[in-house]
Amino acid sequence: MENTPFQRIILTGAAGRLGKALRPGLRALCETLVLSDRIELDEAPAAGEEFIPCELADHPSVSHLLEGADLVVHMGGISQECSFDALLHSNLIGQFNLYDNALAHGVKRIVLASTNHVTGFYPVEQLVTPHMPVRPDSLYAISKCYGETLARFFHDRHGLESVCLRIGNCSPRPLSLRALSCWLSHADLCELVRCAALTPHAGFAIVYGTSANAATWWDGDDAARIGYRPHDSSEIFRAELLATAGNQAKCVHQGGNPLNVDYRQPATWNNRRLSR
């Protein structure tokens, strides 16, 4: 492919939900899209793609993965409440290995999947900006706060750029009343990551990953600075959601119902996942 902005983009978590959604758009931006995960991909690599299996907690494997990379889109890691050990392994050690090796290999920028749950304990009545203190609603969210802090440190200390995406509820359509305020369509996710990759001077940025929903809890982030303008809106699903899910419990906290998910009780991790 000629005249692509990047030579080699690394996509971690490529076998996951968002990794799959991002694949075609990222492939168009580079000579080679390196797909990576610790599990197999559903769909074999196509022309212009390579698969490099990698356990993020293994420093030498991450070093091998990042050879020759000019951009990393980091979607890999634990994506819901889980045991501290699992989060330690994939999210804390994994994210350190990513940043440490990115620096060693001269990677210019990381687009980092964070989560809206880093401010999940704010009440739904409050408008939240990235300048306000984090209020994580789970151990999972704490691991993402660590990721953002690591990103900030590597930028301040070494100039390695990061765009931290505090992703809302990313799915083909909003599935809960809560999602009306935090839905991110797959098309807008792809546009958000494209903007985060291409903006000339990202520095350190935090963007809440949402579509152009009529209702929102967030403001004052770096969306406009990186040129992100979402197109979709949850509003077209409102009437249908009210009809089918109108009896759902009203959220007190922006993170949904974090009190129903207990980091000490594995049974709650899957049965009552954190609201995405």
Ligand X SMILES: NC(=O)c1ccc[n+]([C@@H]2O[C@H](COP(=O)([O-])OP(=O)(O)OC[C@H]3O[C@@H](n4cnc5c(N)ncnc54)[C@H](O)[C@@H]3O)[C@@H](O)[C@H]2O)c1
**Which one, 76 or 256, has the nearer CB to ligand X?**
76
Is position 140 annotated as part of the catalytic site?
Answer: yes
Query: Could you write out the DSSP letters of every residue in 11-43?
Result: EETTTSHHHHHHHHHHHTTEEEEEEE-SS--SS
CA dihedral of 58, 94, 210, 131, whole degrees rounded to 10: -160
How do beta strands 161-167 and 169-170 pair? unpaired
**Which one, 15 or 29, has the nearer CB to ligand X?**
15
Question: Which residue of this chain has its Cβ atom nearest to ligand X in the complex?
Answer: 16
**Which one, 15 or 134, has the nearer CB to ligand X?**
15
How do beta strands 183-184 and 169-170 pair? parallel
- Nearest approach in angstroms of CB 2 to ligand X is 31
- Nearest approach in angstroms of CB 217 to ligand X is 14
The encoded tokens of residue 218 equal: 């967030």
From the candidates 99, 122, 140, 208, which is the catalytic residue? 140
**Which one, 54 or 202, has the nearer CB to ligand X?**
54
Task: Name the site residues for ligand X (rule: CB under 6 A).
Answer: 13, 15-19, 37-39, 54-57, 75-79, 89-90, 94, 113, 115, 167, 169-170, 276
- Nearest approach in angstroms of CB 221 to ligand X is 15
Q: What are phi and psi of 174, to 5 degrees?
A: -65, 135
* Cβ(183)–Cβ(175) below 8 Å: no
Question: Catalytic site residues?
Answer: 140
